[in-house]
Amino acid sequence: MTDQLKHAINAAKTAQTNDQQAEATRIASSSAGDQTFDMNESSYKTSHTAIRKARRFAMQGLYEWLVTDHRFDIDGKLGWKANAPHDIAARTRATNAMHTVHIGYYHEMMRDIPEQIEDLDALITQHLDRDINKLDTVEHAILLIGAYELKNRLEIPYKVVLDEAMKLNNHFGATDAHKLINAVLDKMAVELRATEVASDSKANSRTSQKASAKPVVKTTTEVDSSVDLESIEDKPTASNKPRISANNASVKRNSASKASANISNFKANKKNADDAKNQD
């Protein structure tokens, strides 16, 4: 083994050790209640896929919080509360591979959504046909994420928010739950993103108008019924010869029987001429 290879192996081991120490430090600070997370942590992915995974982990974390501490808070069983959102986040990071997840956005949702739960529930309730406590917990968690993004993350297009909510339901929710989720978030978008929704509606209207106003181009196979076909057929061409038409009686054609008669006459006349020549 060369010295260069040994050096590369040692460097890789050192980097792995540093990453493990950094992860342990982050977990420890999270458990201690430190919620100062950077949305742009450079050691983690920040792509659209990473954000989608952050939503999935946040949905599971919010589900756990809704059925434990939040439920105990509503029922007045404060002595049972022992599962705070930051503890759920720390436990999730300790037991899952999070290197492909947007950690900053995950922690933001796990911190801000529980803090804004009353305001977000109020937004959801005004578009529901039932009491919010009768919602399935998975649907409630998905609606909380959607409401939070519509209200606070204005850089995310509202159509993306709705589409991501549908993806969360497809992954975790019931078969028909997408109908309720889509209806609630769609109405909420009109309320919270009025300018964006109006602009999108105008753009769609202009596109529809352009499509309807597009002139119809006739192909070469299409025939205008207003044109007199017989008059076209009777007009002479550039060579001053009449165009042959099946309906034009002025153009005479030799039938097959007449042609045969002409051949027979020709042969008979030739034979008579030959016989007369032989007699001479």
Q: What residues does each domain of the chain span?
A: 18-115, 117-200
Contact assessment for residue 172 and residue 210, using Cβ atoms and an 8 Å cutoff: no
| Sign of the CA dihedral with 148 first, then 152, 157, and 158 last | positive
Give the contacts of 37 (CB within 8 A, at least 6 positions apart): 103, 104, 107, 108, 111
Confidence of residue 13 (pLDDT cuts 50, 70, 90): low
Percent of the chain with pLDDT over 90: 51
What's the confidence (pLDDT) of residue 206?
Answer: 75
Which DSSP state fits 21? Answer: H
Place of tokens 């742009």: 40
The distance of Cα 180 from the centroid of its chain, to the nearest Å, equals 20
| Sign of the CA dihedral with 37 first, then 43, 47, and 52 last | negative
What does the alpha-carbon distance between residue 96 and residue 79 come to, in Å, rounded to a whole number? 29
The residue-averaged pLDDT of 200-213 equals 76
Give the contacts of 65 (CB within 8 A, at least 6 positions apart): 83, 85, 88, 114
45-49, 68-72, 108-112, 143-147: least confident range: 45-49
For the chain, the first-to-last Cα distance in angstroms comes to: 123
Give me the half-sphere count of Cα atoms (radius 13 Å) on the Cβ side of residue 6: 3
Q: At what angle do helices 177-192 and 117-125 cross, to 10 degrees?
A: 100
106-115, 162-171, 242-251: least confident range: 242-251
pLDDT tens, residue by residue, 80-93: 999 999 999 999 99
Confidence of residue 67 (pLDDT cuts 50, 70, 90): very high
The answer on pLDDT for 37 being more than 50 is no
Sequential DSSP letters for 150-168: HHH-TTS-HHHHHHHHHHH
Topology given in CATH for the domain delimited by 117-200: N-utilizing Substance Protein B Homolog; Chain A (1.10.940)
Contact assessment for residue 107 and residue 37, using Cβ atoms and an 8 Å cutoff: yes
Residue 222 CB coordination number (10 Å): 9
> Whole-model pTM?
0.62
Contact assessment for residue 111 and residue 39, using Cβ atoms and an 8 Å cutoff: no
Place of tokens 């929704």: 197
What's the confidence (pLDDT) of residue 172?
Answer: 95
